[in-house]
Structure 1
């Protein structure tokens, strides 16, 4: 755990361990960085639990302001565990939720009323009359008074003792979008387009996301006695940096929290990655120059001064806060040569290892010359989107390549595509009863229903046949393609179940069967509670269970990134160049996933299709390598080795 802490006299369980450094001069909000969001969520839940118990001992009510979204889910899970296992009572708790979509029925699956009851209220002993969630059904003519009454109700119980927050990529807290006034109260607000894009997955498409919401105001939030904001994942890194290190501005409403005397931001490593003390610590303080930090610093300096590594000078290092590094290394020349060689050694056209070659300075082993390989793909297209060129290279170089699709991906197939396939199937069979039932289910579907089991099966079949078309194109036999259909995913909704023993057993069984020398897996952590992260956790848990077994004693694990982010240059352990022909071949493999083309349901804030993103990202990686002094490749796919 990385901790940066400054505490006032208010009791909190988030404190500064001995020996950790204080906030830098760049930072204006107290923040604590944890290795992962799960550990952090447990600490936050413990602070809330202690506050509830403290208030109960005093004979008073505990007033909590609560947030929704993916960030607080693990906090609520831990609070439920405290209630069930440690007898934590919520009988003295009053809650006020930050916001609700407008209009919104409480029984809609996307409503925050549904969210809070599903994740917390249905599992603890809170009194129903003590639950306050903005009413998305209020009439437009009554909403002004309703918002005033919501404010008055908070004041009547003495204000918020504790406010839990998330943060949007616009910098919103609650639904206080850019432009919100610091003195604003509870009100109706029009949602920013980026906010609606981020919510699109929950609503199965942005067209279904409401354009308005009721939200507590900035002033309401700031009046809380204690504020804890949660931020997980790389997609929050930029807004976190602006919020913590930037100026207070209405364009990033979360910056208003710089003026709060008892606010803490709880971050994971990914969301904190753009902070100056994390990204460029040599600009903040004296550093312990590890090999990893040396690479990071040299690559950063090369980009900063727009010079390849071998042209960096002592003067460049001194002017950018790295005089201590040069003093340690002797000269820029010696350091440049060392880092240049390390970068050069990451490049290979033989991702499975080059047979009968000296592998001393190669990222992969030469032996065995023909390796058994498993490519784990969270969804049925991540394999070709993220590493299609390397996939093709492994097959063409004679390795025994197996593809394991961890989930069915059925939720990402539109109803329109499912209907099209069902109607096509009607023309091919005389046994139409089952297909007609599917069509009826699709046509009668409402926003409050999930796909029937039969429709989910149809959508999963669509993804399955597309995957087989792509793997056949890349010359993988059908016997080497495995559809795991991990149970955690099969809920029919965006919200998935937690990993179970059954999920891990399925992963272990395949690894035991193949006995791989190489495993490739998606290391895309942009959404730490998303499917990619859960699938990666499933692999890590399987490897932990099997780490002393013969099945994986010779196995190396390589992590690729998904369609959202790429590894930073200093993180890359293996870089696989692609020729222009391979770029086109990868593109063609992606095109076989037709249900995911043109009408991508979960594209996020990036309007480009996945094949375009993948090519642009691979070209950018190649460009960065070229700028650092390497050869000018058409594209590069990048991997980071995972040690277990």
Structure 2
């Protein structure tokens, strides 16, 4: 019976899928499978032929294999490896080379024979590539094929560098990279313009010949493409869908990457649900949006014909369900993000007391505060709360070189106009200009340049916070050490960052904390900054009484918003407040027009922010709520002891 239930639950999934709680648990499981394969082959006196991938996804797998080698005697002497791909052109000792990646994460730490390591050669002359790729295929075939191929998945749906349009029988070859793939790699190369336009990759046909294929994917950033690969129709537009044709494939996911699969996202379509408050709200909002009908107009027939008959039967009549959900949505909306004084707060998202709160907004970069919650920021200040803002990092990587030179020129000219000694400034300018002229892609700036860029962003942040209504003494620049330390080392310790955050929190003793809740990229600055706040508060909650009356609210940035059913506080903005927020964002001049790291979206940050909040307002309107100009959304984070 359990087997039948599982088949029903996964009926939209066209490949086997294993879901783990987090990337670490999934990586350990994959590493164990690889280790068992290696040991099994060794016992038979055979070689293990492995196809390996690069990128962030397999890093923990390789780390566990290294641990197994060092601590449990796993030997790689009988292992032969073939990597999926390499950028072209690419020198093997370049920081971005997959040779460097594999050496750093695996090969330098195990006893593999280097003659058994094969990674596509990014230094070949163009005329030699065809024969090289053919020989790469022949080596794999001569060894009897790959025993196991490890894969990641790109947001275009590529496996290896088999981009959309790749044929299912394709072999190892030179390919042109999709623009999205190059944008995703831009941080590693110091800008998309420095990312190679081509790569050498194993073909889909080559991958298919492996006796086992494991595709791994972590975090919400991959959830959309994972759903297409697993549940979508087979199409060259999403090359990973070809894996549906294989009888030897398994997708290994963490819960975030699996979150959009039908059994997790809309489970009522595939199984009976435990209808708790959260699931009911999500289902009714989904039904309203799917049918484009306000919540209060949904009928019993709508429920029955859209997989929600069980809900109607167990919790109905449906009109009572609709009223309850309508009221829940209505109660998220408040014009008083700090709590409304002298009002009944039993149906409001924030407490009324104390009437004037101490609030601190943590901003990972110097503009996240006004971009993400600028309207709420201004509202809190206007309503008389003691608002603080803490800029967690300098943001000095996101300033153009010519802007830095322009500011040094300004400082020099100003000093001259005042009759001051400009010798040191002139030396700084000369050295900076020479460095920029000779600068290699993704090369770390000099300390002096980083300082100038940081000061540019600091000045902009001060201007934005002042515009929002803050006195200078409430503007805090943490310059958390991890940010600059991470430019030079991947081995990070966040203890000093946590201690600095604890000290600031103890000094302010806030009743409200606002923090960035963009967790789609677990290696991104936003996630690291939130983790630092979280660790700081967890420690403080053990000894500091004020923390028991401190609520932590999450906001999101310019790229995407919380789902409507997740939102716990919705702050509506008038047209005038939208304009004030825009002007606060304009204070960040170095990020206007074309920021250094624009992401996937070509729009300016202020445009993204306005359209995101207008879309939230439109969605609330579609559910039957009042029509607002814009809405900023928040979700409350609850600690384990709450």
- Structure 2 length normalisation: TM-score? 0.93
Which of 138, 148, 151 pairs up with 2:134? 148
Q: Is the 8 A contact 1:442 1:455 kept in 2?
A: no
Displacement of 1:639 in angstroms is 0.7
Give the Cα–Cα distance (whole angstroms) in 1 for the partners of residues 71 and 595 of structure 2.
Answer: 43
Aligned counterpart, 1:337: 323
Note if contact 2:190-2:443 (Cα within 8 Å) is conserved in structure 1.
no
Q: Shift of residue 92 of structure 1?
A: 3.2
Does residue 631 in structure 1 map to residue 626 in structure 2? yes
Describe the superposition over 1:513-570 as per-residue Cα deviations: whole angstroms up to 9, x where unpaired. Answer: 2222111111112222222222222222223333322142211111111222211010
Residue 480 in structure 1 maps to residue 466 in structure 2: no
Q: Distance in 1 between matches of 2:36 and 2:394?
A: 42
Picking from 16, 24, 39, the partner of 1:38 is 24
Higher alpha-carbon deviation: 432-441 or 212-221 = 432-441
Kindly indicate whether residue 512 of structure 2 is the aligned counterpart of residue 518 of structure 1: yes
Separation in structure 2 between the aligned mates of residue 310 and residue 548 of structure 1, nearest angstrom: 45
Is there any run of 5+ residues in structure 2 with no aligned partner, and where?
416-421
Q: Which residue of 378, 388, 400 maps to 2:374?
A: 388
* 1:346 match: 332
Show the 5 A alignment for 1:602-613: 602-613=597-608
Structure 1: tracts of 5 or more residues without a match: 7-17
Quote the Cα distance in structure 1 between the aligned partners of 2:79 and 2:481. 35
Contact 1:490–1:496 (8 Å) recurs in 2 = no
What corresponds to 2:82 in structure 1? 96
Q: Which residue of 2 aligns with 1:500?
A: 494
Please, which of 577, 589, 596 is the counterpart of residue 601 of structure 1? 596
1:309 aligns with 2:295: yes
Measured in 2, the distance between the counterparts of 1:40 and 1:400 equals 45
Q: Report the 3-state secondary structure (helix = DSSP H, G, I; strand = E; otherwise coil) of the residue aligned with 1:270.
A: coil
Structure 1 residue 497 displacement after superposition: 4.5
Q: CA deviation at 1:591?
A: 1.3
Count of residues in correspondence between the two structures: 629
- Match of 2:174, SS state, is strand
Which piece of structure 1 moves more, 70-79 or 372-381?
A: 70-79
3-state DSSP of counterpart to 2:241: helix
Equivalent residue for 1:546? 540
Q: Distance in 2 between matches of 1:49 and 1:407?
A: 41
CA RMSD of aligned residues (A): 2.2
How much does 1:87 deviate?
Answer: 4.4
In 1, distance between residues paired with 2:377 and 2:38? 53
Query: How do 1:368-517 and structure 2 match up within 5 A?
Result: 368-429=354-415, 430=422, 431-432=424-425, 433-447=427-441, 449-491=443-485, 493=487, 497-517=491-511
Q: How does 1:349-364 map to 2 (within 5 A)?
A: 349-364=335-350
- Deviations along 1:239-289, one digit per CA (max 9) or x if unpaired, are 211111112222211011112223222223332232222221111111111
TM-score (norm: length of structure 1): 0.93
Q: Is the 1:404–1:481 contact (alpha carbons within 8 Å) kept by the matching residues of 2? A: yes
Please say which of residues 74-83 and 174-183 is displaced more in the overlay: 74-83
Summarize the alignment of residues 122-137 of structure 1 with structure 2, pairs less than 5 Å apart: 122-137=108-123
Contact kept in structure 1, 2:9 and 2:271, CA below 8 Å = no
Match of 1:588 in 2: 583
* 1:115/1:231 CA distance change after superposition, 3 Å: same
- 1: distance between equivalents of 2:504 and 2:617? 34
Is residue 362–residue 392 contact of structure 2 (8 Å, CA) maintained in 1? yes
Change (3 A) 1:481 1:62: farther
